[in-house]
Structure 1
Amino acid sequence: MIKNFLNSKKEEIKNCHDGEGTLKHITVFEDDELKSNLRFINYTILPPGTSIGTHQHGNDEEVYVILEGNGEMTLSSKIHKVKSGDVVLNKPYGIHSLTNTSRTEMRILVFEVAID
């Protein structure tokens, strides 16, 4: 199966995980399309000043790939500067958030994998 997320219809999500602003979001692949422990692949655009609010996952790993832009990723209360090319691993039961601190859009891919 092949999908082009750049040409897909974007959904608007307001205050994602109680974050700031409105994100543009595409679910590229969902759980019911996948046979592995991969739960989803998402493509998200964060306009300047928007954020994915602080939240905690369960027994899974979530990977953020920063495609464009830069910002701040909080992992377990520690703030890290992130930029294009960075890959961030959110470990099981970890607490995290992401804020676009730049003047341009931030574009990310997010993968979530369940741990058996």
Structure 2
Amino acid sequence: MATVVRGERRPFGPISNDTTGPAVTHGQVGGEGVCRWKMLMNGMHLEGEWNCVEYVVVEPGASVGEHVHLRTEEIYYIVSGRAVVTMDGEEFEVREGDLVTTPIGSAHSIANRGDEDMHFFVTEVFPGEGPAARPALVHVPDLLPDPAGAAAGRTAAVDLTPYFTGGWRQFRLLEIPPGGQLRETVPADLSIVLHVLDGQAALATGGEEYTGGPGLSVAVPPGYAHTVTGTGDRPLRVISTEVAVA
């Protein structure tokens, strides 16, 4: 989305955040109990039609109440735990690794009926033109290649374009072995947000290095080279969300 000053678009460089210090919400969107919520990225700081990137923790017995997005399309990625999503009146269970797509106009809620916290990652993007697609559920780890011969790491990719009208592109799950490294350059027509799920990472871009574990998020602007290095003693898992730049 970026920022326009006197008719000129003023882009930002890389942005980093993590999931410490979230707000505590009671009865979120008319739901039950307590949730912990944090905005990781504001869309006005990102290139492309992003609205926001958020992280939500739903405590046992709590829920985010039913609501309808009239201005944005949305994905949920379940980071840990289990929940029940109700989408347009239909209930289905979700678990760690599930990606839920919410087209514009769909009524949805998410409830934690278990006894452990449930964590999920949220991205909202402004829509484009055309009819809304149907909601979808994809268990992303099932798309990872066979671990045999994957010493350099594994990638699972979901093409988001069939599920939305906006500028969504790929959602990826990256698995990098200890000491392994992924090197990429973001195409000039995309911007991405990387979010660490598990393990320890060093994310370098724009002359800066950001280090941390689960919850670390880094936005990489169009055209920027970046490296993601697994610095711990266990595999590093990172999700990457891509949105087109007009």
Q: TM-score, normalised by structure 2?
A: 0.45
| Structure 1 match to 2:61 | 49
How far apart are the structure 2 equivalents of 1:38 and 1:44?
18
The one-letter code matched in structure 2 to 1:39 is: N
Deviates more, 1:49-58 or 1:25-34: 25-34
Bigger Rg, which one: 2
Structure 1: unaligned runs, 5 residues or longer: none
Confirm or deny: 8 A CA contact 2:51 2:72 kept in the other structure: no
Of 103, 120, 145 in structure 2, the residue corresponding to residue 108 of structure 1 is 120
Residues 66 and 108, structure 2, Cα contact 8 Å, conserved in 1: yes
Query: Which residue does the alignment assign to 2:77?
Result: 65
Higher RCO, Cα 8 Å, sep 6+: 1
Distance in 2, matches of 1:108 and 1:15, equals 17
Which of these residues, 7, 16, 28, is aligned with residue 3 of structure 1?
16
Alignment partner of 1:82 out of 94, 97, 114: 94
Q: Percent identity?
A: 26
Q: Determine whether 1:22 maps to 2:22.
A: no
Post-superposition Cα deviations, 1:9-63, rounded to whole Å, max 9, x if no partner, equal 2111111110001211110001222221111110011110110000011142110
- CA–CA distance in structure 2, aligned partners of residues 30 and 51 of structure 1: 24
Aligned letter for 1:45?
V
Where in structure 2 are the equivalents of 1:29-40 lying within 5 Å?
29-40=41-52
TM-score (norm 1): 0.93
Runs of 4+ deviating beyond 4 Å: none
- Equivalent pair of 2:74/2:101 in contact (CA under 8 Å): yes
Separation (CA, whole Å) in 1 of partners of 2:42 and 2:17 = 14
Structure 2 alignment gaps of length 5 or more: 1-13, 129-246
